[in-house]
Amino acid sequence: MSNYITSIAGPLKGSIKVPGDKSISHRSIMLGSIADGVTRVSGFLEGEDSLATLNAFRDMGVKIERNGSNVTINGVGKHGLKEPIRSLNLGNSGTSIRLMSGLLSAQSFDSELCGDESLSKRPMGRVIEPLRLMGADISGNDSKPPLLIKGGKQLSSIEYTLPVASAQIKSCLLLAGLYSDGKTTIIENGISRDHTERMLKGFGYDVTSSSNTISLMGGGSLKSCDIEVPSDISSAAFFMVAGCISENSSIVLEAVNINPTRTGVIDILRLMGGNIELLNQRLQAGELIADIKVTSSELKGIEIPENLVPLAIDEFPVLFIAASCAKGETVLTGARELRVKESDRIQVMADGLTSLGIDNEVLDDGIRIIGGEFKEQTSSIKSHHDHRISMAFAIASVKSKFNIEIEGVDNVKTSFPNFVELANSIGMKIKEG
């Protein structure tokens, strides 16, 4: 088990490019594999999560070559996947298991999907139930992984209202819908990331979206295409907060995806008084990107608008660090989903903040944080092997007057393998050991 030890850091200066978007990287492998023809991907995230997806499709007979972040996928078409000879191990990755459960429910062969200790505790009923409504034969272990899928089922299309705003459930059902006998319609009760819809269109598949409803017809085919994966706003978010809370600092995060279904972190930081500028906005392979300039800010506590929650769902651990450094109280509600991520991100963050002397109150569906000064009162912070918890507490070091030790940081590799290198290049001081 590795730990981080951070030393007092800042000011932060420089321009950096964080790695490719995790959600888009997963989807590029999945759609490239079932497309006809060769798909070339650049900027692919070389993280354990997206590599788990890549290896799973290799296990199903897809020839995929990778040279660093350049990936070539020799698509096998919608009916060309082969039965894997072993259980598909998706490690820590909820996106892989949930999206693939939809795709594999429609194949002619049986499959088993499993993962690590954290993934094995995550709820899968949310995909099992609607997939069964479509006629899939899928079961879990008390609605948790491993998932067992029996192939050979002709799926029927459904109209389904999502019980929670979740791109993973939506995407799972859209992928199953590609194989269904009619029109699949998903109704969202809150906006969730739309990379699946966008990428399907990029592969020439007709998807219609209007306000909160997304539909596609089963039976079509996907045509290969080239994909340039933009930098991940969820990784950039760590440095957005760092730039805001560190004194005399100014940093630029280059070519970050600012897809409007992902920019809640920018909206929330701006509402808190964060100095964030979006420079050189441009389109890259169907996604809007920008260089994000962040300068030192006087943050103030806010009530986070609930409609921004799904748009910033992965960024709350580091937003809680921002709230800890803000003047006054920040209140988050409507975020129960945080309790079923790689860890219970409300409780685990609350425990870590308490051990840094930050007053907070855990709510059923959120947290109340009273901004203050970090105080040295514990030997180390437990990340519960959650990548985003580890990185969030590393960011606290730019405002801390003492060294912080964070336990169990290995999983940072799942989403942001060069986090320490990039952080240190702009003036942070993190040692991994």
CB of 25 to ligand S3P, least distance (A): 9
Is 358 in a helix, a strand, or coil?
Answer: coil
29 binds ligand S3P (CB under 6 A): no
197 binds ligand S3P (CB under 6 A): no
396, amino acid identity = A
Pick from 28, 39, 50, 95 the residue near ligand S3P by CB under 6 A: 95
Q: Which residue is nearest to ligand S3P (CB)?
A: 23
CB of 193 to ligand S3P, least distance (A): 6
Give me the sheet containing 329-332, strands edge to edge: 329-332, 366-370, 360-363
Smallest CA-to-CA distance from 124 within 169, 82, 88 is with 169
Active-site residue among 314, 364, 365, 386? 314
Q: Which is nearer to ligand S3P, 124 or 325 (CB)?
A: 124
Q: Are strands 429-432 and 111-114 parallel, antiparallel or unpaired?
A: unpaired
276 binds ligand S3P (CB under 6 A): no
Q: Which is nearer to ligand S3P, 165 or 245 (CB)?
A: 165
251 with 33: CB under 8 angstroms? no
Pick from 39, 105, 168, 296 the residue near ligand S3P by CB under 6 A: 168
368 with 339: CB under 8 angstroms? no
Rounded CA separation 219/378 (Å): 58
CB atoms under 10 Å from CB of 74, counted, come to: 16
Pick from 71, 76, 103, 167 the residue near ligand S3P by CB under 6 A: 167
Pick from 78, 122, 193, 413 the residue near ligand S3P by CB under 6 A: 193
48 binds ligand S3P (CB under 6 A): no
Q: Determine the interface stretch with ligand S3P among 167-175, 257-265, 319-327, 377-385 (rule: CB under 6 A).
A: 167-175
Q: Determine the interface stretch with ligand S3P among 106-114, 163-171, 283-291, 298-306 (rule: CB under 6 A).
A: 163-171
166 binds ligand S3P (CB under 6 A): yes
Rounded CA separation 137/144 (Å): 15
Smallest CA-to-CA distance from 30 within 171, 241, 159, 145 is with 171
Rounded CA separation 310/79 (Å): 34
- Residue 425 CB burial class (10 angstroms; 0-12, 13-18, ≥19): middle
Q: Which is nearer to ligand S3P, 197 or 314 (CB)?
A: 314
- Report the b/e string of 371-408 with b at 16+ CB within 10 A: bbebeeeeebbbbbbbbbbbbbbbbbbbbbeeebebbb
Residue 28 CA to its chain's centroid (Å) = 14
Residues 300-329 that bind ligand S3P (CB under 6 A): 313-314
CB of 95 to ligand S3P, least distance (A): 4
How many residues bind ligand S3P (CB under 6 A)? The answer is: 11
Is 116 annotated as catalytic?
no
CB of 147 to ligand S3P, least distance (A): 15
Binding site for ligand S3P (CB under 6 A): 23, 95, 166-168, 171, 192-193, 313-314, 337
Catalytic residues: 314
